[in-house]
Amino acid sequence: MIVTAHAKLNLALDVLGKSPDGYHDLRMVMQTVRFGDDLDVELTRDGTFSLDPGQSYLPADGKNLAMKAAELFLAGTGLGARIAVTKRIPVCAGMGGGSADAAAVLRALNDLTGRGLSVDELCELGLLVGSDVPFCVMEGAALAEGRGEKLTPLPSLPDCAVVICKPAFAIATPELFGRVDGRKSRLRPDTAGMTAALRSGDMPGVARRLYNVFEDVLDRRQQEVFVIKRALTDLGALGAAMTGSGSAVFGLFGSDDKAAAAYEALSARYKECFLTRPYTPEIV
């Protein structure tokens, strides 16, 4: 089976504090997009597992979330899996590539084995793989709380064009969390307003509430994030923000023509630039 692992974007991201277990308490509004990786998943009857991660620098063992998901799902069955990834989602971009791959593996193996687990049951399995995996299993849009595993489904973004651009550097997530923990003054996203705008289909309302607290603690080496944000808005985006812990930046466009022009302009300057749309799974 060939299945697509859809990238995710953070329309809003807030860090509320640090829990006693060492994890951070988050409140995020997330949305999947049509852009993503493709995974070719095949069952093996001899119980062996193999993974082609799509890039030579990515792990091909249980350190890769796709392999971890396969081993977890098939534990005790005597079955194995061969997985080959066509990798498109940038690594270390804040777009949930590893989690999306794991979620795609869970969905594919659920179909291939005929196990028939519900989305909620797949989300429970996904949480054992990683905090973002349950959302990537569910897809569409959601308010994500806790570590990201407490999900409240939301209506997806109104149809629009999305331009995503990643500068040529990654950002260390633990370092950003440390900076957020030490921050004295805290601006916060209007999460309630964001969810209300999604529920009413208010695209301008969503766009003007895009906000990611990690942007407030970027250092001088990471200022290219703001250069891309300004370029997107100058080229007609209704709003722009960094996704996750970065370094990818996205802009929402009400005009396909403006989005295409922005994509063309930024593609000339940045290797990893993508033009896509919001993705909502079909309701069966």
- Do 279 and 160 form a contact (C-beta atoms < 8 A)? no
Q: What is the DSSP letter of 213?
A: G
- Of 8, 68, 87, 166, the active-site residue reads 8
Find the catalytic residue in 14, 87, 132, 166: 132
β-strand partners of 30: 10, 142
Q: Beta-carbon neighbour count of residue 135 at 10 Å?
A: 28
Is residue 27 within 8 A of residue 143, CB to CB? The reply is yes
Length reported for the chain:
284
Q: For this structure, is 8 an active site residue?
A: yes
Most distant CA atoms of the chain, gap in Å: 57
Rounded Cα–Cα distance for residues 243 and 9 (Å): 5
Whether 87 is catalytic: no
Neighbour-count burial of 86, counting CB atoms closer than 10 A to its CB (0-12 exposed, 13-18 middle, 19+ buried): middle
Residue with tokens 């766009």: 207
The helices-and-strands tally (H runs, E runs) of the chain is: 9, 11
User: What beta strand segments (E) does 45-159 contain?
Assistant: 49-52, 80-86, 141-146, 150-154
Active site residues: 8, 132
